[in-house]
Amino acid sequence: VTAPKKIGVLGGGQLGRMLALAGYPLNLHLRFLDPSPVAPAGDMAELMVAEFDDLDAVARFAEGLDVATYEFENVPADAARVLAERTRLAPGVAALETSQDRVREKECFISLDIPTPAFHAVGSQHDLERAVAVLGLPAVLKTRRLGYDGKGQRVLRSPDDVAGAYEALGSVPLILERFVNFDRELSIIGVRGRDGEQAYYPLVQNRHGDGILRLSRAPVDIDDTMQQRAESFMQRLLDELDYTGVLALEMFDRGGELIANEIAPRVHNSGHWTIKGAETSQFENHLRAVVGMPLGSTAAVGHSAMVNLIGTVPPIEAMLAIEGAHVHLYGKSERPGRKLGHVTLHAATRELLDARLPALLRVVDAR
């Protein structure tokens, strides 16, 4: 019997929990670092409780690991550097730093010829007014760093919205982006192995509410050229970042044109459907990649939808009573705006999925 491989993960949220679940059949054991003693991954695997900026703790965390990764992109780059010095870190520090700064991220898109909304870095109210004069309104003002789930951003529609907006977002470095009047939001998840082998999941369509993902569906009903274009963007990003693991790219579709919004250097909420809806889940493929195993097929099995459970959890019996539904709860306490779990729905055809989805949305929206 070979000893299990030990994988250290920065962050112990639901993404970590699902990574741990995917790891056991491959004899991969995970160890998590998270500031919260009740982090969801702690139910599944070893959990070390410490702040991410406690670099001594991070160094102790690294002892005995075969490889380290992260499931949260707002970990301090210094913590990632400590891991990279002591063990193998995948994805690397460059991917983390690129995704942490929206300006750097957009510069990366431009250098790779990936369309993205016109933007301006903003460091003061004066900068903001100049940027508005160039880009026009409406526009979206976001913090450069530490934004997630729609936090740290606002849409500016009129000059009244511009007045005082720099201070209202905390007088921190900001980015102003041209507002994209999109038809729909799409994402693609790709994975790159240690040897550079790549695979891509089918495009996913996402619906957000209040900045939080509500519903994903895959595969999307589109022509092959759009899938190929999205794969080509993903391939350029994976190669440029010398990436190992799963990477997500969020995009806008405006009249068939794909416009990149942001990347997430980790497994992603819009990929939860892959647990039962693809030959190999994003979680398993991320682990395979970071330990240097061959990647698994990313092909979809039928049609899938994923609905997030936000703030409250409907009665589990009502969700499970829907044909094709699978419930994943993260073991978190209820709080408004918090992701507590998700339900996936699977069907052999798009028509069957369309027929089943309203019942699930009634149960989830009823709360």
Can you tell me which of 177, 231, 253, 284 binds ligand AMP, judged by CB under 6 A? 177
Binding mask 316-335 toward ligand AMP (x if CB under 6 A, else -) reads: --------------------
**Window of 90-98, 174-182, 227-235, 239-247 that interacts with ligand AMP by CB under 6 A:** 174-182
Whole-angstrom distance, CA of residue 241 vs CA of residue 102? 16
* Closest CB to ligand AMP among residues 205, 261: 261
Sketch the per residue contact string, 115 through 134, with ligand AMP: x for CB under 6 A, - otherwise.
Answer: --x-----------------
179: its two tokens: 């507002």
- Name which of 34 and 177 has its Cβ closer to ligand AMP: 177
Using the minimum distance from each CB to ligand AMP, give the nearer residue, 251 or 345. Answer: 251
User: Applying CB under 6 A, what is the total number of residues that bind ligand AMP?
Assistant: 13
* Sole window of 93-101, 104-112, 175-183, 220-228 interacting with ligand AMP (rule: CB under 6 A): 175-183
Fill in the per-residue mask, 262 to 281: x = in contact with ligand AMP (CB under 6 A), - = not in contact.
x-------------------
Closest by CA to 273, choosing from 248, 250, 242, 305, is: 305
Calculate the dihedral angle through the C-alpha atoms of 44, 332, 74, 235, rounding to the nearest 10 degrees: 70
Shortest distance, position 45 Cβ to ligand AMP, whole Å: 29
Instruction: State which residue, 250 or 253, has the beta carbon closest to ligand AMP.
Output: 250
Least CB distance to ligand AMP at residue 207 (A): 9
Regarding 180 and contact with ligand AMP (CB under 6 A), the answer is yes
* 314: contact with ligand AMP by CB under 6 A: no
Give 14 or 116: the residue with its C-beta nearer to ligand AMP. 116
Q: Is 105 in the site for ligand AMP (CB under 6 A)?
A: no
- Binding mask 186-225 toward ligand AMP (x if CB under 6 A, else -) reads ----------------------x--x--------------
Residues near ligand AMP (CB under 6 A) are 117, 140, 147, 150, 177, 179-180, 185, 208, 211, 250, 261-262
